[in-house]
């Protein structure tokens, strides 16, 4: 994990509740304080086995669905771009904003979750979950302060949005917040499976599937300390046992990619792991795409035959979430630039790919439609990669500065340049730029827009910007 692009600016125990510092109330649009429960409410709906697919304008998780396709409805047709609104918040928004009905949900490094009016950006409510960790208190890292980094997730069965905040004392706390009211229903500390919370960072997008919220952990920028990549599954009620998986390496192998774990139609969870400690056999589970049951028992794993050199050179697969296609294939691309096409049902160990070919060094989350995967390349422009015939073929590359994670909607591909703060709208057949717009702010690393009707929404280093024209 240690070799990321240069910074822009910057099991299972129910622990005692109420460990958080700071305010934990939600403020409504009228300015009245809603009561903030610190344990799960008794009247919560019983969750469905799997989340309801988002409809219309909703964007309820990273890249819109549990498979992380990143595809919004084709209508309305994308057109010229203009700024609809900007909203300054109490910190950087690293995760994708969510859209639930008329609300935009944004979570900040200030450890605050906001409900914004979708049409105007007006703050309808906010929930402050504690005091974030200053960079000076961390052994390494590049986010200051460190609060909420991973994209939240919404469950239409419980009517709650879930978010993980890091608070002073190196606590990682899962909160459930009622939508649309902004009422804090529960908060629960999530022990990191490696037992080293000071060195663990929760950067990956949260995943909701089959009644659990999945939370993946990696290390801090710089890979300091004895952390091990891991993932935990917490019941959506906030109560009950936590399941977990930890990479069986001596250290590192972070599960940190911004796109987070991916869910298959049968409930299998696929997650990428970064470089581990081993640089010679035996293989240690790092530099991989790992398949897990809903209870997080490992059922399959893929690693490149070059894993010892990848680990030694920090050229692993952990930088990008797996690209899961509807036909059961997975495209895995990481820091080395080699793309690996995998059969998701037959991840049988080292060198078990269906095909491999050069693509690009990739960081973030992919989008998929049909047999094409849209890959976030750190240089040279994003890549549209065709996988038909079980082969890997790059169809086109996008504008060179646009290194963010792409999404699709309105008959266009959307990809940001996080350094310059520019959002591009591309022709999906050629990658040519149709329109572009400056957002007035630098963006967090690995930024990706959310699409909702005619709006594209994106987190910035100071809040959220809504762009009309999607």
Report the pLDDT value the prediction gives residue 379, as an integer from 0 to 100: 95
Which residue ranges form the domains of the chain, and what is each CATH number?
A: 26-468 (2.140.10.10)
Q: How sure is the predictor about 2, in pLDDT bands with cuts at 50, 70 and 90? A: very low
CA 366/CA 339 separation, integer angstroms: 12
Q: How sure is the predictor about 439, in pLDDT bands with cuts at 50, 70 and 90? A: very high
CA 361/CA 204 separation, integer angstroms: 19
Q: Is 432 strand, coil or helix?
A: coil
Structure confidence by residue, pLDDT tens digits, 149-165: 999 999 999 999 999 99
Map tokens 């690293």 to a residue: 94
Report the pLDDT value the prediction gives residue 38, as an integer from 0 to 100: 37
Report the pLDDT value the prediction gives residue 285, as an integer from 0 to 100: 98
Mean pLDDT along residues 104-121: 98
Among 71-80, 239-248, 321-330, the range scoring the smallest mean pLDDT is 71-80
CA 208/CA 396 separation, integer angstroms: 33
The answer, as to whether pTM is greater than 0.85, is: yes
The number of residues making up the chain comes to 470
Q: How sure is the predictor about 54, in pLDDT bands with cuts at 50, 70 and 90? A: confident
Among 24-28, 178-182, 259-263, 355-359, the range scoring the smallest mean pLDDT is 24-28
Structure confidence by residue, pLDDT tens digits, 70-105: 999 877 899 999 999 999 999 999 999 999 999 999
What's the distance, Cα to Cα, between the start and end of the chain in Å? 34
Question: Rounded to 5, what percent of the chain is helix, strand, coil?
Answer: 5, 40, 60
Among 28-37, 93-102, 195-204, 379-388, the range scoring the smallest mean pLDDT is 28-37
Report the pLDDT value the prediction gives residue 6, as an integer from 0 to 100: 39
Contact 127, 36 (CB under 8 A): yes
- What φ, ψ does residue 172 adopt, rounded to 5°? -110, 115
Structure confidence by residue, pLDDT tens digits, 138-150: 999 999 999 999 9
Mean pLDDT along residues 339-361: 98
Counting beta carbons within 10 angstroms of the beta carbon of residue 35, is it exposed (0 to 12), middle (13 to 18) or buried (19 or more)? Answer: exposed
């Amino acid at each position: 994990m240690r070799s990321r692009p240069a910074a822009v600016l910057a099991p299972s125990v129910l622990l005692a509740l109420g460990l958080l510092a700071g305010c934990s109330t939600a403020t409504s649009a009228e300015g009245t304080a809603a009561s903030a429960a610190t344990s799960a409410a008794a009247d919560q709906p019983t969750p469905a086995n799997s989340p309801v697919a988002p409809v219309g304008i909703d964007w309820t998780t990273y890249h819109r669905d549990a498979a992380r396709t990143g595809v919004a409805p084709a209508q309305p047709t994308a057109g010229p771009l203009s700024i609809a609104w900007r909203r300054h918040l109490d910190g950087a928004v690293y995760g994708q904003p969510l859209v639930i009905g008329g609300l935009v949900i944004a979570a900040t490094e200030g450890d605050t979750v906001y409900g914004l009016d979708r049409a105007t950006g007006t703050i309808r409510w906010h929930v402050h979950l504690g005091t974030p960790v200053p960079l000076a208190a961390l052994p390494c890292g590049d986010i200051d302060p460190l609060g909420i980094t991973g994209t939240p997730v919404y469950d239409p069965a419980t009517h709650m949005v879930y978010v993980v905040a890091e608070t002073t004392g190196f606590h990682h706390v899962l909160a459930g917040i009622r939508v649309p009211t902004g009422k804090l229903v529960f908060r629960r500390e999530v022990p990191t499976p490696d037992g080293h919370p000071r060195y663990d960072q929760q950067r990956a997008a949260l995943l909701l599937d089959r009644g659990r919220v999945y939370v993946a952990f990696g290390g801090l920028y710089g890979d300091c300390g004895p952390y091990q990549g891991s993932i935990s599954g917490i019941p959506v009620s906030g109560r009950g046992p936590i399941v977990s998986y930890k990479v069986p390496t001596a250290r590192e192998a972070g599960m940190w990619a911004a796109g987070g774990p991916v869910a298959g139609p049968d409930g299998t969870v696929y997650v990428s792991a970064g470089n581990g400690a081993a640089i010679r056999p035996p293989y240690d589970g790092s530099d991989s795409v790992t398949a897990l049951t809903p209870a997080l028992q490992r059922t399959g794993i893929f690693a490149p035959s070059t894993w010892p050199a990848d680990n030694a050179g920090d050229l692993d697969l952990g930088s990008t979430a797996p690209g899961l296609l509807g036909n059961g294939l997975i495209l895995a691309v990481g820091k080395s630039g080699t793309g690996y096409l995998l059969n998701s049902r037959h991840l049988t160990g080292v060198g078990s790919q269906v095909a491999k070919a050069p693509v690009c060094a990739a960081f973030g989350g992919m989008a998929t439609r049909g047999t094409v995967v849209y890959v976030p390349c750190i240089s040279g422009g994003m890549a549209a990669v065709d996988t038909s015939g079980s082969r890997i073929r790059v169809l086109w590359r996008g504008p060179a500065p646009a290194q963010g994670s792409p999404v699709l909607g309105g008959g266009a591909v959307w990809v940001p340049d996080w350094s310059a703060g520019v959002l591009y709208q591309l022709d999906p057949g050629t990658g040519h730029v149709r329109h572009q717009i400056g957002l007035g702010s630098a963006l967090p690393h690995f930024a990706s827009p959310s699409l909702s009707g005619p709006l594209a929404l994106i987190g910035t280093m100071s809040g959220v910007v809504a762009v009309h024209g999607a």
